[in-house]
């Protein structure tokens, strides 16, 4: 059971590390896109024809949509992580309950065997 708990902890830590790495990459990518868009906007702001302005507006809209998607994905991942943590907690509690029941069963069995041995000893003393 301890090995399973260690394996589960290592797996959870690896997933958490991968998730953090992915989030850092998403933030870096978003920052790079935003910087590129600001640079493009500054260079073409005054002299841009209407078509270029429309393209810039569409790109800004696309960026805002991507930001919203990232936020939604992050919220979904956090919710899933919380759900998995709850499931792990419930599994751990169930395993503890099962160990307790097994211990109680073993104690009852030992008690029954002890009583049987005592009965045999008393029967032999009576004879």
Q: Tens of pLDDT along 26-49?
A: 888 888 888 888 887 777 665 556
More confident residue, 106 or 126: 106
Q: Which long-range contacts (CB under 8 A, 24 or more apart) does 60-67 make?
A: 63/30, 63/33, 63/34, 63/37, 66/30, 66/33, 67/30
Give me the percent of the chain exceeding a pLDDT of 90. Answer: 53
Please give the Cα distance from 8 to 16 (Å, whole number): 12
Q: What is the pLDDT of residue 45?
A: 62
Please give the Cα distance from 56 to 62 (Å, whole number): 10
pTM above 0.85, yes or no: no
Of 101, 104, 88, which is closest to residue 4 (Cα–Cα)?
Answer: 88
Phi-psi region at 48: left, alpha or beta (left = phi > 0; alpha = psi -120 to 50): beta
Of 19, 2, 121, which is closest to residue 76 (Cα–Cα)?
Answer: 19
Q: What is the pLDDT of residue 49?
A: 66
Residue 98 has pLDDT above 60, yes or no: yes
């Amino acid at each position: 059971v301890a090995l399973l708990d260690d394996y589960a902890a290592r797996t959870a830590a690896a997933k958490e590390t991968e998730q953090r790495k992915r989030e850092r990459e998403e933030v870096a990518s978003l920052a790079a896109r935003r910087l590129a868009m600001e640079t493009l906007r500054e260079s073409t702001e005054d002299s841009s024809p209407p078509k270029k302005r429309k393209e810039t507006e569409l790109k800004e809209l696309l960026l805002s949509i991507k930001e919203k998607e990232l936020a939604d994905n992050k919220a979904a991942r956090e919710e899933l992580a919380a759900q998995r943590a709850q499931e792990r907690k419930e599994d751990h509690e169930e395993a503890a309950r099962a160990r307790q029941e097994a211990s109680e069963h073993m104690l009852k069995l030992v008690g029954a065997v002890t009583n049987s041995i005592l009965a045999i000893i008393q029967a032999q003393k009576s004879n």
